[in-house]
Amino acid sequence: MECVVEVEGAEKRYPGGVAAVNNVSLTAGRGIHVFLGPNGSGKSTLLSMIAGVLKPSAGRITVCGKDLWGPRGLDARKHIGYAPQDPPLRPLLTGYENLVRHALFRGLSLGEARRRARELLELVGLAGAADRKVGEYSGGMKRRLTVAIALVGDPDVVVLDEPSTGLDPTARRELWDIVVRLREEGRVVLLATHYADEAEALASKVYIMHRGVVAAQGTVAELKERYTPVSVILVEAKEAPPNPEEARSSLMLPGVEDVVVEGPVFRVYAARPNVVAPRVLEAMVGYGVEVRELRILEPSLEDVYFKVTGTTLRGEGVGG
């Protein structure tokens, strides 16, 4: 039977009534489910609840049919592998010993734990550093080891909270390969990130997180089609305009859907960019802006995020 994660009306409220997660419902089956949002959007809180670390204030979460916070909560946790944002590593133990430790927590015998630890070190590319103390690992190595820890119990559901934060591009690619492999193995992967490109590269389904709610969800193609049926004319000026709102208004020409001004960068949304672009250039020069570069871009998930939430993935609200 396929393992599914079901979240029904999950909420997390802190004293004072602040809702970190507010009435979230979703069903996640096989594939990579990416929760996209900046810091504070509620994605890590939601994943902490799904991982069984944080108790919801309201709602219900089941994993493979078992209520995570009910009497069979420990049974439900057998199906979960969790890589938290802060690596759960003991710095005085080696990478291998850390993995064996977590394998024993998952109920493996000592022999099985040792075998599994070797396998996973190979998988995440740390076999050569297996016997080095984790305190001597780089940030990237710690991240990879944390992913290995999430996999140590051979879980049906893998929860990865910002696994690629701080990784260099090569390490990120390697990590993505591992995540894709998890999908191919038929697991449910829940991944939180604030990188739009990561979501675009990996996601079977994207959940746009904003202020504790899932503001939109769907495949990457569905979200783009729904929220950004227009292309983006990206104009980079030499300097930021003194009055962004006025600059924005001056570019709201016929055929222009929207304009976002972020410092010296203007994003002009238009259905027919080839027609609109010369007019935009003309208007900018007329407004007194010195243009350094103009490019026509296909919309990205970042644009989708902005269209849905009115803020960027860095958490900034911008003009427009």
Residues lying near other proteins in the complex (CB under 8 A) are found at: 14, 48, 51-55, 74-75, 77-78, 80, 82, 84, 86-93, 97, 100-102, 104-110, 113, 133, 149, 153, 159
C-beta closer to other proteins: residue 77 or 205: 77
User: Minimum distance between the CB of residue 52 and other proteins, rounded to whole angstroms?
Assistant: 5
Q: Which residues pair with 19 in a beta bridge?
A: 13
Buried b / exposed e across 149-166, counting CB within 10 Å, b at 16+? bbbbbebbbbbbbbbbee
User: Minimum distance between the CB of residue 29 and other proteins, rounded to whole angstroms?
Assistant: 20
C-beta closer to other proteins: residue 136 or 239: 136
Within 8 A by CB and 6+ apart from 216, the residues are 207, 208, 223, 226, 227, 304, 308
Integer Cα distance of 167 and 189 in angstroms:
20
C-beta closer to other proteins: residue 93 or 253: 93
Integer Cα distance of 154 and 78 in angstroms:
9
Buried b / exposed e across 72-100, counting CB within 10 Å, b at 16+? eeeebbbbbbbbbeebebeeeebbbbbbb
Within 8 A by CB and 6+ apart from 230, the residues are 257, 258, 269, 270, 271, 273, 299
CB 133 within 8 A of CB 105: no
User: Minimum distance between the CB of residue 221 and other proteins, rounded to whole angstroms?
Assistant: 32
As to burial, measured by CB atoms within 10 angstroms (0-12 exposed, 13-18 middle, 19+ buried), residue 316 is: exposed
User: Minimum distance between the CB of residue 103 and other proteins, rounded to whole angstroms?
Assistant: 8
C-beta closer to other proteins: residue 71 or 169: 71
C-beta closer to other proteins: residue 117 or 276: 117
User: Minimum distance between the CB of residue 290 and other proteins, rounded to whole angstroms?
Assistant: 49
User: Minimum distance between the CB of residue 69 and other proteins, rounded to whole angstroms?
Assistant: 9
C-beta closer to other proteins: residue 83 or 304: 83
C-beta closer to other proteins: residue 7 or 259: 7
User: Minimum distance between the CB of residue 315 and other proteins, rounded to whole angstroms?
Assistant: 22
